[in-house]
Amino acid sequence: MKDIVIIGGGPIGIACALECEKRKWNYVILEKGALTNSLYNYPKNMTFFSTSEKLEIDAIPFISKNPKPNRDEALEYYRRVATSNAIKIHLYESVEQLKKTNHYFTITTNKTTYQSKNVILATGFYDIPNDLGIPGENLPKVTHYYKEAHPYSMQDVIIVGASNSSVDAALEIWRKGGRVTMVVRGETIGERVKYWVRPDIINRIDEGSITAYFNSEVIEIKPSEVVIRTPDGTKTLPNDYVVALTGYKPNFDLLNQVGISLSDDAIKRPVYNENTMESNVEGLYLAGVICGGMETHKWFIENSRIHAKLIANHLEQTLG
């Protein structure tokens, strides 16, 4: 029997583990992929919007070459924090079922079963992409993740979306020789795009280096073409690859399994106490991005790292 099972081995899950270590609680982190799996799946050349000190957990210094660290520096930092503190984590172990019976939780994974007095869900949202829901989305040339530009050199590439990830992908692929077209539902590039990148993409569109269709959407993907709906009518474009960076969502199935209540609106925000982070299910706590439901831009590392201490302070009342 564990005192705590932490589901999710990202920065916030690691922060929760550090609080458990201080109090000598019997805990384990279960992570479905690599350590900080979401960060690992970020584009290789990604630079954070936040400065390094805002990404620190448990006041452990994060030193980077520039004020805003890149992906590799973040991976190194959280890896060092995890290994130097000998946190207890099982990698590549995915949770398949989570339920509460009487006064404890049963957590079934792809490898074994655990029982725990408490559970912390720190699963983030990056593992489940928002589907386009159109014909051809399952073709091999379609991806919801972007890693690097090289495979798209000299190819006709459709980028769906106008978020930070979409803009970064469009610029990098264009600079590596790809023929880039952006298809954007809104009327302009997203306002949340990094302030030092937004002028770059707007200038590339204005000069014609990157084609952009605004107030438009992809309606069908074919082996060598893409059909889009625009204000000027339907257009069929030559295409080799579609990079559909349409956002991601939390694992609502896991929340529903264990009985966490969600708001009735499209946001599906889980119910929890903001002072303790305990959900409507006693003994089950939420930490990090998952607290926002579909509002995935509300919580970041810098403003949710405090969740670990809030949860630990509340658990001290029962675990000591």
> pLDDT tens digits, residue range 249-300?
888 888 999 999 999 998 999 999 999 999 999 999 999 999 998 887 788 8
Q: What is the CATH number of the domain that holds 17?
A: 3.50.50.60
Query: Mean pLDDT for each consecutive 10-residue tract of the chain (320 residues)?
Result: 96 97 97 93 87 94 93 96 97 96 94 97 84 95 94 98 92 97 94 90 97 97 98 97 91 91 92 96 95 84 94 91
Contacts of 301 (CB under 8 A, 6+ apart): 11, 12, 50, 54, 55, 57, 288
| The last residue of a domain, from among 200, 222, 244 | 244
Total number of domains constituting the chain? 2
- The pTM for the full model equals 0.87
Residues 58 and 157 in one domain: no
Residues 253 and 124 in one domain: yes
- Residue-level pLDDT at 178: 98
| The last residue of a domain, from among 244, 260, 292 | 244
Residues 237 and 305 in one domain: no
Residues 111 and 9 in one domain: yes
- Residue-level pLDDT at 46: 87
Chain segment 49-76, per-residue pLDDT in tens: 889 999 999 999 999 999 999 999 999 9
Return phi, psi of residue 8, to 5°: 120, 120
| The last residue of a domain, from among 244, 263, 287 | 244
Residues 287 and 149 in one domain: no
* 18: its two tokens: 């550090």
Contacts of 307 (CB under 8 A, 6+ apart): 12, 15, 16, 122, 277, 286, 287, 288, 291
- Residue-level pLDDT at 130: 87
Residues 136 and 101 in one domain: no
Residues 115 and 65 in one domain: yes
Range of the domain at 188: 131-244
Residues 206 and 170 in one domain: yes
